[in-house]
Amino acid sequence: MILDIKAIKHFDINKIADSGQAFRFKRLGDNYYSVIHSYRYLEIKQVDSRLYLSCNNEEYYSAWRNYFDFGTNYDAIQSLGNSFNDRFLDDSIEYGKGIRILRQDFFEILISFIISQRKSIPAIKSSIEKICEKYGFFKLGKSLDGKTVSYYTFPTPRILSEATVEDLKECGVGYRAEYIIAAAKWWIKYASNWDISEIPYETICPILINDIKGVGIKVANCVCLFGLHQLKAAPVDVWIQKIITEEYENVIPEWMDSPYAGVYQQYAFYYRRSDEYNKIPQGENL
């Protein structure tokens, strides 16, 4: 199907795929990606304000519309951000415009960010892909031009909970293997009985940190932001820490403790890592 998102404005598939919040986007061409969410496969190509999607209408309205968070008004979130009169935040918002906080699967995010510690984004993607190939379900989907493509779903908690440390280590997760298995068991024992999306941030964040080995304050906030869409959750990683020290003289800025702190952090994270921010002075790098 073809979707006109002129009214939404805030959507840039390149920025979303490169924003470090989702690890199963695969670049297929210019403004053209595939992504796997739950048991579904989607190809998406953006040409200005038009989206070419490999799914049909029914699948869009039942799954992908929610996944891309099209129900949230990012105009309002950005305007509120601009009201802080903060130069760095304003620059981040402008540069990161088009990023959205995807509504991803809680369990997949939990495991993905347990893997993420002390790993580069390409290495995280590679480990997750190996886990999906080893433990996920093999499925067939459709490409944009109607061809059949194969993919693997992210494994269920049950299957991961029954994996062995030895087998899991073949996916390049190292010492995190036992964390992953324990987290899967935790999910089955506790989280599957809760309506986890109804639990407030202040309650769920400490539970994640205290109950799951391998989850500290940063990963817990990533899980809240990306896995539960708690937009106030503010993950402080090495890049955000650099921003705090370099831009704010080690004083936490006001916007990092606001209802949409997670969205602003995502803009700031994307901006701080960008070539635009890390400009190499012309003529001095030869």
Partner DNA sequence: GTCCAGGAAGGAT
Partner DNA sequence: ATCCTTCATGGA
Tell the smallest beta-carbon distance from residue 220 to DNA (Å).
Answer: 6
Write down the least CB distance from residue 112 to DNA, Å: 10
DSSP label at residue 60: I
Smallest distance, Å, CB 198 to DNA?
23
Question: Of the two residues 6 and 118, which places its CB atom closer to DNA in the complex?
Answer: 118
DSSP symbol at 99: B
Q: Specify the residue for token string 């998102």.
A: 5
Question: What's the min distance (Å) between Cβ of 59 and DNA?
Answer: 27
| Whole-number CA gyration radius for the chain | 19
* Rounded Cα gap, residues 121 and 142, in angstroms: 27
Catalytic, 15? Answer no
Question: What's the CA gap between 52 and 215, in Å, rounded?
Answer: 37
State which residue, 144 or 244, has the beta carbon closest to DNA.
244
Nearer to DNA, 122 or 146 (CB): 122
Active-site residue, from 15, 45, 125, 218? 218
Name the phi and psi angles at 142, rounded to 5: -115, 135
CB of 158 to DNA, least distance (A): 23
Identify which of residues 119 and 142 has a Cβ nearer to DNA in the complex: 119
What Cα–Cα distance (Å) separates residue 159 from each residue in 139, 154, 156, 162? Answer: 17, 10, 5, 5
Question: What residues line the site for DNA (CB under 7 A)?
Answer: 19-21, 116-124, 126, 169, 172-175, 209, 212-220, 222, 235, 237-240, 265-266, 269
- Name the residue among 231, 52, 230, 61 with its Cα closest to residue 144: 52
> By C-beta, is 4 or 259 nearer to DNA?
259
Separation CA 272–CA 275 (nearest Å)? 8
List residues bridging with 159 in a β-sheet.
Answer: none
| Residues near 168 by beta carbon (within 8 Å), at least 6 away in sequence | 131, 177, 180, 181
For the annotated catalytic residues, the residue numbers are: 218
